[in-house]
């Protein structure tokens, strides 16, 4: 059998913060035995291994700024080029975030087109509740939620530390990030609508249900295009 007929899917997962994108990307990648590439992880790895692109990215991340397109593209291009990833399949999470990045990915995949760009749709109210309701142990980092608090008075069940809301999890901060996401990502959605790769999955469902729908979607795409 050729590598092409045994390959895994080439996927992009799109979705706002709190849509459960990272969790689903991990599960889908495991399911198909391909690599899950989250730009957050890629940047941390690249910065740790001190590649030029990684060090450039680190400067922006340390300031809390968005990393510019060309730097992001450089890091992704390097990692996609390793281990035959483009031919074998992959799940990209956190990339592309801009039209320019989507076009660069399209060029990088020369001859191995993306199978699907899946938009994990979650209503803003749900995302707000998920993130703004989040509380974290200031000592060990264990996550809680206003719906599932620690047993005693916002004291960590694990280490006894103080459990509090992170500054960037306030409703106001989350709304600001969501607005920025919409503005940035709309052109990416439009790009994939035009190439025919765009699909939507309801990310407001239970996590297992979302995963099931994602796999069904990928299978239906493969049945149709790979006899």
Per CB under 5 A, residues contacting Zn ion are: 137, 139-140, 142, 156, 158-159, 161
Q: Which letter, b or e, does each residue of 168-189 get, where b requires 16 or more Cβ atoms within 10 Å of its Cβ?
A: ebeeeebeeebeebeeebebbb
- The alpha carbon of residue 162 and the mean position of all alpha carbons in its chain are separated, in whole angstroms, by 29
Give the H/E segment covering residue 29.
helix 21-32
CB 189 within 8 A of CB 119: yes
Judged by CB, which is closer to Zn ion: 67, or 156?
156
CB of 73 to Zn ion, least distance (A): 38
CB of 133 to Zn ion, least distance (A): 18
- In whole angstroms, how large is the CA radius of gyration of the chain? 19
* Catalytic residue list contains 221: no
CB of 145 to Zn ion, least distance (A): 15
Judged by CB, which is closer to Zn ion: 59, or 146?
146
Number of H helices, E strands in the chain: 10, 8
Give the count of alpha carbons within 13 A of 223, CB side only.
6
* Catalytic residue list contains 177: yes
CB 146 within 8 A of CB 169: no
Report the C-alpha gap between 143 and 136 in whole angstroms. 5
Which residue among the candidates 21, 27, 58, 130 is catalytic per the annotation?
Answer: 21
Which residue among the candidates 166, 176, 193, 212 is catalytic per the annotation?
Answer: 166
CB of 158 to Zn ion, least distance (A): 4
Which residue among the candidates 7, 10, 27, 97 is catalytic per the annotation?
Answer: 97
Judged by CB, which is closer to Zn ion: 164, or 186?
164
* Catalytic residue list contains 134: yes
Judged by CB, which is closer to Zn ion: 145, or 221?
145
Strand 116-121 relative to strand 198-202, pairing: parallel
* Listed residue (157, 160, 180, 177) closest to 169, CA to CA: 177
CB of 143 to Zn ion, least distance (A): 10
Judged by CB, which is closer to Zn ion: 81, or 160?
160
Residues forming the active site: 21, 97, 134, 166, 177
């Amino acid at each position: 059998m050729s590598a092409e007929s045994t390959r895994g899917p080439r996927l992009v997962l799109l979705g706002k913060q709190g849509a459960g994108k990272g969790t689903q990307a991990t599960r889908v990648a495991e399911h198909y035995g391909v690599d899950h590439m989250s730009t957050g992880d890629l940047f941390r790895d690249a910065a740790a291994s001190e590649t030029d692109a990684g060090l450039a990215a680190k400067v922006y991340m340390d300031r809390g700024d968005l990393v510019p397109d060309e730097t992001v593209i450089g890091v992704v291009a390097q990692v996609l080029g390793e281990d035959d990833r483009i031919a074998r399949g992959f799940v990209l999470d956190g990339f592309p975030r801009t039209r320019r990045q989507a076009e660069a990915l399209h060029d990088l995949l020369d001859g191995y087109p993306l199978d699907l760009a899946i938009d994990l749709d979650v209503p803003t109210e749900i995302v707000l509740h998920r993130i703004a309701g989040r509380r974290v142990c200031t000592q060990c980092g264990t996550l809680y939620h206003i719906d599932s608090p620690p047993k005693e008075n916002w004291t960590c069940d694990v280490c006894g530390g103080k459990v509090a809301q992170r500054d960037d999890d306030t409703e106001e901060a989350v709304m600001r990030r969501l607005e920025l996401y919409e503005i940035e990502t709309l052109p990416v959605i439009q790009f994939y609508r035009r190439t025919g790769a765009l699909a939507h999955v309801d990310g407001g469902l239970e996590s297992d249900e979302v995963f099931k729908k994602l796999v069904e979607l990928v299978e239906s795409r493969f049945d149709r295009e790979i006899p």
